[in-house]
Structure 1
Amino acid sequence: MATIQDDDERLLARIGYRQELRREFTKWSTVSYAISILGVLGSVPATFGSPVMAGGPATAVWCWFIGSCIAMCIASSVAELVSAYPTAGGMYFVTKHVVPPEHVAIWAWVVGWCNFLGQTAGVSSVAYTVAQMILACASMNSQFVDGAYSYSPTALQTVLLTLLLLCIMGIICSLTTKSLHRIILWFAPINITASVGICVALLVLTPEKQSARWVFTEVTDGSGWSSKGFSFLLGFLSVAWTMTDYDGTTHMSEETHDAAIRGPVAINAAVLVSGALGWMLTVTFCFCMKDFDGIINSPTGMPAAQIFLNAGGKTGGTIMWFFVILIQFFTGCSAMLADTRMAYAFARDDALPFSSFWSKVNQVTRTPVYAVWLVVILSTCLNCIGIGSSQTVVAIFNITAPALDLSYIAVILARRVYERQVKFIDGPYSLGRWGLPINAVAISWVCFISVVLFFPPTKPVTAANMNYAVCVAAFIGVFALSWWWIGARKKYTGPRTKDLLQLVPTDDIEDRIF
């Protein structure tokens, strides 16, 4: 009797790849993974200061609400495509099936590198943020003298702690898929329970709170651009940085049972749950900002940390902050896991230097351990830049959301542009007649918000507050295209599957397994 495991392996073979990884992720561990890669309890406190300082509390609240709704459009568009082709390559592999054969190589090259570098920058930034959070906790537990804490972390200390965290994440991601399944199964329950508990604790323990009118209607021009409307748009930075990496779950497809169905369901469930939790946390933080100036200019360096400290004191604030750090660490592990699977998929298509080495699967763990440590090495290199220039390393981190989202909409757009030339066969999850308008919203929004996110966050613009993300984006574009024209175009043909199709007799397999 055929099983779901058999169907998964036959579908993968029909797509053109051998089953090398073990399928151990279940429905619940897949959903937990999808929620943990967004990690709102860690990401919202880490980015809360940006929208509040740019446009006030109402900006933070409504940007999160609007951004979450639009994120569902992007996530649904991604889920529809990867449902048809559930591989470790995610959207990168889908490119092969939405673009005419003569254009596959260049499209896949650009999408793949954009996605891979965006994910690597994301892993680096999350690890850096965890280090900042740990050191902020150490700072707020030191002596407070003359309006400042006695301990203030240096750039070198932050980077060194980040490198240690990257190694720990690398060790975890090198475990067997079964071990990862057992660990990740707990990520979402802890995330959801801690988020609700912290919101309740903050509202109960904070002695004085702001009014609902202030929280939901107060919009300011904190950016200096002489426009409340533009300052409001800058508030989308928090939700854009948090609600991305939608295809992270799809990179685990070759380790998931019934991936064509469970992957898309997990993606949509994660955006829905994370959107609600993120909005709840943002509203709660705004209600607890009675001393607005004191919190924004907190000596801890993080407004959210000061909110926790004001509500629970050193002991209570530290306990709540511990869960924020823990969830952000979970997010780092999940992001690294997705990045390593993308690196593995990219390498087996010979798109990386020394691809034959990075695409190897460890015979003990049956996981791509070499790809894991490639990501650790690249993330380490990126974070080392922070020792000499915090502005540069922040610029690299800021490229995460635009790079990932642009890699998604490029594939979504290609599907629509070439739909008369290339027939796309839907998978189990399909948007049906709603597909075109939802795709249009996703594409329009990412194009618009990417431009906004490349603007300097404050004015007047100086070397210190300049948003160097646009420079990093230009460098990535020049790097990828130069490498393509210099040599890659001569041997890279896109996702390499043709040589594997002969493994499965086509007479024994229907056009679609599901």
Structure 2
Amino acid sequence: MESAVSQPAMATIQDDDERLLARIGYKQELRREFTKWSTVSYAISILGVLGSVPATIGSPLGSGGPATAVWAWFIGSCMAMCIASSVAELVSAYPTAGGMYFVTKHVVPPEHVAIWAWIIGWCNFLGQAAGVASVAYTVAQMILAAAAMNSHLNPDGTYAYQPNAVQTVLLTILLLCVFGTICSLTTKSLHKIILWFAPINILGSISICIALLVLTPNKQSAKWVFTEVTDGSGWGSKGFSFLLGFLSVAWTMTDYDGTTHMSEETHDAAIRGPLAIRLAILVSGVVGWMLTITFCFCMSDFDAILASPTGLPVAQIFLNAGGRVGGTVMWFFVILVQFFTGCSAMLANARMAYAFARDEAFPFSGFWSKVNSLTKTPVNAVWLVVTFCSLLILIGIGSTQTIIGIFNITAPALDLSYIAVILAHRVYEHRVQFIEGPYSMGMWSRPVNAIAIAWVCFISVVLFFPPTKPVTGANMNYAICVAAVIALVSLTWWFVSARHKYTGPRTKDLLDLVPTEDPDLIREYSQQLPPPEP
């Protein structure tokens, strides 16, 4: 009988996902439990159009009328696809929990990586945190609006129950804790839960549209819905009022790289992440447009619905169509989908915090980047986000305008962080070697990148502009003030302390990550990387 021949030990990397992560420079710490469908469902749920459109449609309706809401959504969705495709192309090459923040390391010269990564990272983290806080705050408002809808209606047209700022803030903090509890589960549990987010969102949207069109009496004409543009902003120009209508789609269609923050927990992340990003924009764009058109058709009394005592025009549309019972049932699904959006947004923010802490960008980074031994997820980073968002929300007790200004920073902070990386990729492409991933736009890459950059620069000005005139302390858009404070604090911190310690994404050499007795296997993959940085 022949003796067994000893075989050399195989590499400890188990599959191509872990090999790719090791080539990038990180050790696999999280479990890859997300599948193709849970990744797509997550990407769609983080946009959550059934919750986001009812929460934001009042702005374009009030500023420019129904046609503004309809066509601004259509145009904005097309522009969102350009941004999302540009983001997908970059993160396909480097699918890590850091998302676009990590990509910075591979699109700018080594001597500029630290400052670029610092700015992009903080823009991304703070933009996401403001988004999480705003979604939780919106869910609280929706729940309290439902309570008001079901209270007694006074003779003056107001509801007997009127929620105050303290109640809204406390309910928001409770919701943030619920989000945090869900996001602290294992990746396998999150996969099973998130798998249902998108189907409920899509089926709920279709069902509500059918119900509203059947039940609403005296619907508006198609001509009114698709052609009626008003000057509700007070700026004296229907054209400018139309531009303000982009606020709804800009607030909804953002956080494109949210899916990529789950890359280290997703199988075939380099392929499935970009696919999910683009598919989410397509589905959300179509469903959001369908909802917007339906709501406009069902605004039988335009002025009365905008001035609804619920404070949310869509809630009044539901009441008019289905009464208290039917309206509350439809509103429940809006709240549920917005709740899903909050969970998804917090998950992305927590993974970004984990990635940022892993690179020593936070105080006590070792604690925040720790992976829980039981769940194998970064639970500490989750509760960092819960705590930070709760502190932001407390501002709402003293100043509603300030908290709204913080919420309004979400879209410009995220979008500007994306196009900064896209622009850097194009500016330094002849100096920095960039290894393309499985997804590439080929010859369309440069023109699509150019459209994305131009659009974000344009829409950011709109997002920072006061929405109505005359401008007063009550209606001022304080987002520009919040942005200035964030920039001042971040850059001061950099020049005083961080530039001496922070070096950008802290990757390791492949051989340090993968001890093996088969160096030929490691050499095969390491040859695909550019020479190590000095």
TM-score (norm 1): 0.98
Task: Name the counterpart of 1:130.
Answer: 139
Aligned equivalents of 2:513, 2:323: Cα separation in 1: 64
1:500 positional shift = 5.6
Instruction: Tell me, in whole angstroms, the C-alpha distance in 2 between the residues paired with 1:469 and 1:492.
Output: 28
The corresponding residue for 1:63 is 72
Taking the aligned partners of 2:78 and 2:513, their CA distance within structure 1 comes to 43
Alignment of 1:41-80 (within 5 A): 41-80=50-89
The root-mean-square deviation of aligned C-alpha atoms, in Å, is 1.4
| CA distance in structure 2 between the partners assigned to 1:219 and 1:294 by the alignment | 18
CA distance in 2 between partners of 1:385 and 1:398 (Å): 14
Per-residue deviation, 1:511: 4.6
SS at match of 1:434: helix
CA distance in 2, matches of 1:259, 1:410: 23
Task: Kindly indicate whether residue 241 of structure 2 is the aligned counterpart of residue 241 of structure 1.
Answer: no
Counterpart in 2 of 1:117?
Answer: 126
CA distance, structure 1, for counterparts of residue 307 and residue 528 of structure 2: 57
How far 1:452 moved relative to its partner?
1.0
Given the alignment of the two structures, is residue 468 of structure 1 paired with residue 478 of structure 2, yes or no? yes
Residue identity in the other structure for 2:316: Q
2:523 aligned partner: 507
Aligned residue in 2 for 1:40: 49
**1:421 alignment counterpart:** 431
Aligned counterpart in structure 2 of residue 382 of structure 1, from 377, 385, 392: 392
Q: Give how far 1:498 is off.
A: 3.2
Does 2:218 match 1:202?
Answer: no
Partner of 2:318 in structure 1?
308
1:89 — aligned with what?
Answer: 98
CA 1:374 to 1:64, structure 2 compared with 1: closer, same or farther past 3 Å? same
When Rg is computed on C-alpha atoms for both structures, the one with the higher figure is 2
Report the Cα distance in structure 1 between the residues aligned to 2:511 and 2:391, rounded to whole angstroms.
38
1:85 is displaced (CA, Å) by 0.2
Matches within 5 A, 1:73-472: 73-146=82-155, 147-472=157-482
User: TM-score, normalization: structure 2?
Assistant: 0.95
SS in 1 for 2:497: helix
Which blocks of at least 5 consecutive residues in structure 1 are unaligned? none
Return the offset for 1:5.
5.8
Q: Distance in 2 between matches of 1:185 and 1:357?
A: 30
Q: Which residue does the alignment assign to 1:484?
A: 494
Tell me by how many angstroms 1:381 deviates: 0.4
What CA distance in whole angstroms lies between the structure 2 residues aligned with 1:501 and 1:392? 50
Q: Which amino acid aligns with 2:27?
A: R
User: Aligned partners of 1:507, 1:460: CA distance in 2, in Å?
Assistant: 66
CA drift of 1:98 comes to 0.3
Match of 2:25 among 16, 24, 43: 16
Distance in 1 separating the partners of 2:305 and 2:483: 33
Unaligned 5+ runs, structure 2: 1-9, 530-534
- Native 8 Å contact 2:217 2:300 kept in 1: no
CA contact (8 A) 1:15 1:501 kept: no
Work out whether residues 295 and 317 of structure 2, in 8 Å CA contact, stay in contact via their aligned partners in 1: yes
SS at match of 2:127: helix
Give the whole-Å Cα distance in 1 for the aligned partners of 2:313 and 2:398: 25
Q: Is the 8 A contact 1:58 1:218 kept in 2?
A: yes
**CA deviation profile, 1:309-355 (whole Å, cap 9, x unmatched):** 10000000000000000000000000000000000000000001110
Structure 2 CA distance, aligned partners of 1:318 and 1:3?
A: 54
Matched residues, percent identical? 80
Instruction: Give a deviation string over 1:75-121, Cα, whole Å, max 9, x none.
Output: 00000000000000000000000000000000000000000000000
CA distance in 1, matches of 2:388, 2:94: 28
- The offset of 1:512, in angstroms, is 5.1
**Letter paired with 2:383:** W
Whole-angstrom CA distance in 2 between matches of 1:171 and 1:373: 9
Q: Whole-Å Cα distance in 2 between the matches of residues 17 and 458 of structure 1?
A: 48
